[in-house]
């Protein structure tokens, strides 16, 4: 690892933060130490970084805003790559080209300011464009698959290609990139529709007020824990109806406000949250025979 980091530094790939706690970079506010977080300056430096990662066989992962990840409390013996420098947002008529590191909420806000409709659903999702495309993030019966026209990616053999909407194969909370985890999203082209700025702002305001009433936004969480199952009640209702609201393990709690949220209520460890997620999942399966799918990705638990 030391030799690898020396070479990263000598090639001026970008800022490096060494021996930091992942808890500072995830919305759950948990996670152990990571050897280094690297911020490549541009695509050329990212390609070079990937070559060095292959050369030294370094464990690695792309990290966006950490809003859908549950890292363990163990040390992550590898590097995390943050694409914060890939943050451009450029509008061309009703299209917007945005870098993978751009804030999804910011892109939604800038779109609405221009009277462009289509991203209102994203105004409360605290992720990056790259993470949102990867997860096919969505809300209010819409998602990234409805608006994303093309995605520029770095392939596992370090080619830069553009995937169309059809090639991205968007489905409910899934995309081509989830099945090709070694591909890296670089930027996305989003197509919007002309709308009324005041009407769009009213929609966002109304939804913000509803979120404040219906979601536990005053505690660290990663949003909805489970995907809503097909042909059944929403996950939150299933969990609530078997009396699990308010259930705690250590400092983690099934939110009393919304049962599909698990919150870090009192300095929870990653294990507290992990164990509570699995307990709820098992309880729902035992009671209903429904195997809920966890939306969050568990990292470094092996």
Indicate which residues carry an active-site annotation. 173, 224, 295
* Closest among 10, 18, 151 to 80, alpha carbons compared: 18
Give the ranges where 136-293 is alpha helix by DSSP (H): 144-147, 165-168, 176-179, 197-214, 235-241, 270-288
Residue 28: burial class (beta carbons within 10 Å; 0-12, 13-18, 19+): buried
* Closest among 65, 70, 96, 107 to 83, alpha carbons compared: 65
Contacts of residue 276, Cβ cutoff 8 Å, sequence gap at least 6 = 247, 248, 249, 252, 253, 254, 262
**DSSP one-letter string for 93-116:** TTEEEEETTSBHHHHHHHHHHTTE
17 vs 24: CA distance, rounded Å: 12
117 vs 147: CA distance, rounded Å: 10
- Site of tokens 């289509």: 118
Residue 115: burial class (beta carbons within 10 Å; 0-12, 13-18, 19+): middle
How is residue 15 written in tokens?
């800022």
* Closest among 279, 213, 273 to 242, alpha carbons compared: 279
* Closest among 44, 70, 223 to 132, alpha carbons compared: 223
115 vs 107: CA distance, rounded Å: 12
């Amino acid at each position: 690892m030391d030799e690898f980091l020396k070479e990263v530094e000598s090639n001026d790939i970008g800022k490096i933060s060494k021996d930091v706690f992942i808890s500072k970079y995830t919305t759950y506010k948990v996670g152990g130490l990571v050897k280094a977080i690297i911020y490549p300056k541009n695509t050329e430096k990212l390609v070079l970084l990937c070559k060095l990662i292959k050369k030294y066989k370094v464990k690695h992962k792309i990290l966006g805003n950490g809003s859908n990840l549950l890292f363990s409390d163990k040390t992550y013996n590898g590097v995390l790559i943050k694409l914060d420098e890939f943050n451009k947002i450029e509008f061309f008529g009703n299209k917007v080209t945005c870098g993978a590191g751009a804030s999804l909420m910011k892109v939604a806000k800038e779109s609405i300011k221009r009277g462009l409709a289509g991203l209102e659903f994203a105004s409360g999702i605290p992720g990056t464009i790259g993470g949102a495309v990867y997860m096919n993030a969505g809300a209010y019966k819409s998602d990234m698959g409805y608006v994303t026209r093309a995605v520029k990616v770095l392939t596992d053999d370090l080619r830069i290609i553009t995937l169309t909407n059809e090639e991205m194969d968007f489905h409910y909370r899934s995309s081509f990139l989830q099945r090709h985890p070694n591909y890296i999203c670089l930027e996305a082209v989003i197509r919007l529709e002309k709308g009324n700025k005041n009407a769009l702002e009213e929609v966002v305001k109304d939804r913000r007020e509803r979120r404040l009433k219906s979601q536990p936004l005053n505690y660290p969480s990663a949003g909805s824990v489970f995907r809503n199952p097909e042909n059944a009640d929403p996950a939150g209702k299933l969990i609530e109806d078997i009396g699990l609201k308010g259930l705690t393990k250590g400092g983690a709690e099934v939110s009393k406000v919304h049962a599909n949220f698990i919150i870090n209520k009192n300095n929870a460890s990653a294990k507290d949250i992990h164990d509570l997620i699995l307990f709820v999942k098992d309880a729902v399966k035992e009671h209903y025979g429904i195997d809920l799918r966890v939306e969050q990705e568990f990292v470094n638990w092996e």
